[in-house]
């Protein structure tokens, strides 16, 4: 067998972090699927009262438990810290409701090896027509604002399925709580560390007569308002609004799609590191 290239990311180098709030419906399936692709799985139970943690107590995973609900941002922070403590070189995140496919983890690792120094986002580009119109509207608006704050264009900035390099997970004092934290992680990774963001097309998984999901914790108008307010402050704080906007709009999102269905052919992101 040929030896692995030095520095090449492997499944055993990755920790899968799964924030979980009342995920009894799907959590065992989600965790079992994740273990099939990655040996290191960390579940952060955010004060669930439906027995979420008990349903995976016999599985070989790390379970962190919050005594009360603290929000997705707190769950991700704690999951990142535990992953780094365990020596992970990268962290894959996926939600506990079953809408993300663990089969995409190896694809995300391959994408990270093709695009070192980037955050990989599982972009829900396939079957997008199945997405409710209001969710598409919210996603498109989020992409516009978060791209401006990062300094380059991206797609599906609201996706919770991502692969972060360890250096991104090690950032301290990343502001924002709840779903705002995920937006800020992209902004901080771009502005503080000069990392790029690459979209990897994945299939969209929505409820159907044959596949039930719990109601989304994302409250569209409430959470979108919080994200928008936060991002606007970030954009203003970086200054030179119109120059940054023109530069952002002149770029193209980087889409890693070897099939060529969505490939943008965009060049690597320009550095946006500040400070």
In the prediction, which pLDDT does 248 show? 87
Number of H helices, E strands in the chain: 8, 8
> What token pair was written down for 6?
């030095």
Q: Write out the H or E segment, with its range, that includes residue 18.
A: strand 14-20
CA distance 116 to 274: 20
Given a cut of 80, is residue 1 above it in pLDDT?
A: no
In whole angstroms, what is the distance from residue 92 CA to residue 18 CA?
A: 9
Top-confidence residue, 186 or 131: 186
Helix or strand holding residue 107 (H, E): helix 105-114
Mean pLDDT: which of 120-134, 156-170, 231-245 is highest?
156-170
The lowest-confidence range among 108-112, 211-215, 236-240, 242-246 is 211-215
Say if residue 273's pLDDT is above 90.
no
Higher pLDDT, 32 or 267: 32
pLDDT of residue 275: 44
Of the candidates 171, 154, 175, the residue with the CA atom closest to the CA atom of residue 256: 154
Question: Residue 193 and residue 11: Cα distance in Å, rounded?
Answer: 24
Q: For the chain, which domains are there?
A: 11-255 (3.90.550.10)
Q: What's the length of the chain? A: 275
Q: Is residue 72 scored above 70 in pLDDT?
A: yes
The larger pLDDT score, comparing residue 124 to residue 179, is at 124
The predicted model gives 85-109 an average pLDDT of 96
In sequence order, which residues have a C-beta less than 8 Å from that of residue 17 and are 6 or more positions away? 42, 44, 76, 79, 80, 82, 83, 91, 92, 93
Please, what is the average pLDDT of the chain?
86
Q: Average pLDDT for residues 52-68, to the nearest whole number? A: 97
pLDDT at 60: 98
CA–CA separation, 39 vs 105, rounded Å?
12
Q: Examine the pLDDT at 129 and tell me if it is beyond 80.
A: no
The better pLDDT of the pair 206, 148 is held by 148
């Amino acid at each position: 067998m040929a030896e692995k290239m030095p520095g090449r990311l492997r499944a055993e180098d990755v920790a899968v972090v799964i924030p979980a709030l009342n995920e009894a419906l799907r959590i065992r399936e989600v965790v079992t699927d994740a273990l099939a692709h990655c040996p290191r799985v960390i579940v952060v139970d955010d004060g669930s009262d439906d027995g979420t943690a008990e349903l995976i107590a016999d599985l070989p995973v790390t379970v962190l438990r919050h005594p009360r609900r603290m929000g997705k941002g707190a769950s991700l922070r704690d999951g990142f810290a535990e992953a780094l403590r365990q020596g992970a070189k990268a962290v894959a995140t996926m939600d506990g409701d079953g809408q993300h496919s663990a089969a995409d983890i190896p694809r995300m690792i391959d994408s990270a090896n093709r695009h070192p120094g980037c955050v990989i986002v599982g972009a829900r580009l396939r079957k997008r027509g199945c997405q409710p119109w209001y969710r598409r509207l919210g996603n498109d608006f989020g992409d516009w604002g978060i791209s401006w704050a990062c300094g380059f264009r991206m797609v599906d900035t609201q996706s919770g399925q991502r692969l972060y390099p360890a250096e991104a997970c090690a950032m301290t004092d990343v502001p924002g709580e709840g779903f705002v934290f995920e937006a800020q992680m992209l902004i901080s990774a771009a502005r503080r560390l000069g990392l790029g963001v690459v979209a990897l097309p994945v299939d969209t998984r929505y409820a159907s007569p044959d596949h039930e999901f719990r109601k989304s914790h994302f409250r569209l108008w409430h959470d979108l308002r919080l994200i928008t307010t936060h991002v606007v402050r970030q954009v203003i704080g970086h200054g030179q609004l119109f120059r940054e906007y023109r530069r952002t709009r002149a770029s193209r999102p980087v889409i890693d799609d070897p099939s060529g269905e969505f490939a943008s052919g965009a060049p690597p992101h320009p550095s946006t590191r500040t400070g």
